[in-house]
Amino acid sequence: MIAVSGLGLVTPAGIGADATWRRLLTGSPTATRDPDLDGLPVDFSCRIPDYDTLVPPRGRWRLDRFTVAALAAAREAVADARLDPGDWQPERVGVVTGTGTGSMERYLAEFEHLRAGRLTLMSPMAITRSISNMVPAEIALALGARGPNFTVSTACASGATAISVARDLIRSGTCDIVITGGSESVRSRIPAACFHRMGALSTRRDDPAGACRPFHAERDGFVLSEGAAVLILERDLHARARGVQPYAYLAGGASTCDSHHYAAPHPDGDGLASAMTAALREAGLGPGDVGHVNAHGTGTRLNDAAEHRALRQVFTDPPPVTSLKGTIGHAVGASAAIEAACTALSLRHQVIPPTANLDTQDPDIDLDVVAGQARAARMSSAVSSSSAFGGQNTVLVFHQA
Amino acid sequence: MSTYDLIAKELAQTFGLDPAEISPSRSFADLGIDSLALVELAVIVRAELGSQTDLTRIAPDTTLGEAADMIERAA
């Protein structure tokens, strides 16, 4: 069995897994006006609180927010798993993280210098602080991990795909420990403007907290966010040898592609449904064994409708569903990892956080969506489902440890 | 603000160094400022001074005091 033995979370709901989990259980949205987005059609976002405290100031100058968040989450997860980087065999420790857009946080300023011919004002770090592979590279540098080290990119599903690949590295015997998850910050001007031009974002400028409404009759798009989640994966006995009780087992994982459209999901959720079926088969479970689905639930018209169809294809009687994005928005490459971590927390605590802002469910979405308040639920297995631009889907199945 | 003070301020604020370890006689290398970090520092100094001063002669083994003199002479 492959265990989730440590968790680290840095999200708009809080710094640390405990703070994040407590806020998610309240279902209180975190979106507010964002001064960095002044003058844009969508000028609100969900942001990490107390960002400046995440890593020591020394060395931070060369890191963008998605790396800073990932470093903090990785340190938390390693400590949580009671791992001592001084003791582990570094070549047996991998780092696999997911990121969708890389970091566009500071490209705009660089482009402006380039366009104006001010080449001597361009930063030598413009590339290294922005490219996706530097997230696992910086984690390895900070912690001394010398095994396989790379980034997986499947847009909004990146974090889940990374976790699934990390699981393969354990199963194949390549690694004893994999530090995995996802990180992203899309609350900067380029992604804010571009996602708006796609029509993907909620435009409720007068009500940022109420903007992200997964499964709601009047949902109008997702809300920009940022964050990181890191999970420690290792074999069950490897964790228990240190006296660590895992949060959950990662029992199955599967990825598919709709091969239908470059941005929109398959309207019937075919690709997502087949990933779900494959992941459950791998876990040796039937649909009736699943007690909860932590949905992708972005709050866009198309995603939530397609996800509903996918769930209806797989489950005759779908279990209780939630989307965390109503509370913390959409952190693209980080969100699936955040959701995977919270699915493991739901199994440990036997409780499902509510979907924020869901006062009027879409009548065409026939699902038991947890809303209003957290719900206690007895469950031995739970599913985390994620879909992406490009039609890529990854589904993870967790089992109670 | 003198050029040295500007360098010292940026080393503390942007690069997160402890002000207590910053002094004119120390080299950039002493403070862990490598050649890429020096290019970043030069970007900031140029932006603050509004100059196009050539700072490429400043190397990691240059002291902060020497660097301040070089920038002032070139200006």
Phi/psi class of residue A105: alpha, beta or left (left: φ > 0; alpha: ψ in -120 to 50)?
alpha
- Interface residue B60 vs chain A (CB under 8 A): no
Is A308 in the active site? no
Residues of chain A positioned with their CB less than 8 A from the CB of B32: 58
Tokens at residue A171, please?
């199963």
Cα–Cα distance measured from residue A232 to residue A218, given in angstroms and rounded to the nearest whole number: 38
- Interface residue B59 vs chain A (CB under 8 A): no
Tokens at residue A142, please?
């900070």
Instruction: Tell me which of A196, A216, A296, A308 is the catalytic residue.
Output: A296
Residue A201: predicted pLDDT: 98
Residue B53: predicted pLDDT: 72
Residue B46: predicted pLDDT: 87
Residues of chain B positioned with their CB less than 8 A from the CB of A125: 36, 40
CB A177 within 8 A of CB A238: yes
First-to-last alpha carbon distance for chain B, in angstroms, is 15
- Interface residue A262 vs chain B (CB under 8 A): no
Is A156 in the active site? yes
Tokens at residue B9, please?
């301020």
Is A257 in the active site? no
Binned average pLDDT, 10 residues per bin, chain A of 401 residues? 98 98 98 98 98 93 97 98 97 98 95 94 95 98 98 98 98 98 98 97 98 98 98 98 98 97 94 98 98 98 97 97 98 98 98 98 98 98 97 98 96
Residue A305: predicted pLDDT: 98
- Could you tell me which residues come within 8 angstroms of residue B46 by beta carbon, excluding any fewer than 6 positions away? A120, A121, B52, B53, B55
* Predicted model pTM: 0.97
Decide: residue A376, CB within 10 A, 0-12 exposed, 13-18 middle, 19+ buried: exposed
- The A residues from 57 to 76 touching B (CB cutoff 8 Å) are 57-62
Q: Tell how strand A226-235 and strand A177-185 pair up.
A: antiparallel
Question: How many Cα atoms within 13 Å fall on the side-chain side of residue A138?
Answer: 27
- Interface residue B50 vs chain A (CB under 8 A): no
Q: How many CB pairs under 8 A join A and B?
A: 33
- Taking Cα atoms as reference points, which of A243, A279, A245, A66 lies closest to residue A163? A279
Residue B48: predicted pLDDT: 87
Residues of chain B with pLDDT below 70 are: 52
Residue A294: predicted pLDDT: 98
Residues of chain B positioned with their CB less than 8 A from the CB of A121: 43, 46-47
